[in-house]
Amino acid sequence: MASRRQSKLLTAGSPAPDFRLTRLEGGETALAEIAARGPALLVFFKNTCPVCQMTLPFLDRIHRAGSLPIYGVSQDDAQDTREFMRQFGVTFPMLLDREEADYPASNAYGISSVPTAFLVERDGTVSRVIEGWQKAEVEGLGALAGVAVFRANDNVPAWKAG
């Protein structure tokens, strides 16, 4: 991530900073609107990140089950984000955290590497932070959503830095 200012990464128990970002499909969405519906996972990513390319399709398996809303927070433009979704089969909603606006959400959350995910509870509190690829954490999110994320033929590492 090419942030112009670096703040400390949010930790579990922190209040999630509100934001208003453009939706890929048009319009805008604020975190308050997302959290009001119940727990949701925010996944910050960049389309050129190999670990993001590996992670987001597994998170999409959770999203498709429908019990844990997942929102991608793309640090790329709309065209590149659409191409990423097409290429990697990602279907969850995308929000655009634009470089032209100095990555407002990424900076507010203290993102220094991607992917980084935050589970935000209905009250706006961050209950989990996942940096990079952590298979056990993705399995835990799946369990929370009632989904077996991994299949017998999935050969994935236990950990990989973002």
- High-pLDDT (> 70) share of the chain, %: 96
- Judged against a pLDDT cut of 90, whether residue 121 lies above it is answered with yes
- Please state at what angle helix 50-65 crosses helix 135-145, rounded to 10 degrees: 20
Question: What SS3 class is residue 119?
Answer: strand
List, for residues 93-104, the tens digit of each pLDDT value.
999 999 999 999
- Judged against a pLDDT cut of 60, whether residue 70 lies above it is answered with yes
For residue 141, which amino acid is it? L
35-148 folds as Glutaredoxin (3.40.30)
Q: What is the pLDDT of residue 7?
A: 81
If you average pLDDT over residues 41-51, what whole number do you get?
Answer: 98
- Judged against a pLDDT cut of 70, whether residue 4 lies above it is answered with no
pTM: 0.95
Q: What is the pLDDT of residue 5?
A: 53
Phi (first) and psi of residue 36, to 5 degrees:
-60, -25
For residue 38, which amino acid is it? G
Q: Measure the CA–CA gap between 134 and 151, rounded to whole angstroms.
A: 16
If you average pLDDT over residues 136-145, what whole number do you get?
Answer: 97
- Judged against a pLDDT cut of 90, whether residue 154 lies above it is answered with yes
Nearest of 98, 40, 90, 53 to residue 74 by alpha carbon: 98
Task: Compute the mean pLDDT over every residue in the chain, rounded to the nearest whole number.
Answer: 95
Give yes or no for a contact between 137 and 49, defined as CB atoms under 8 angstroms apart. no
Pairing mode of beta strands 20-23, 94-96: antiparallel
List, for residues 75-91, the tens digit of each pLDDT value.
999 999 999 999 999 99
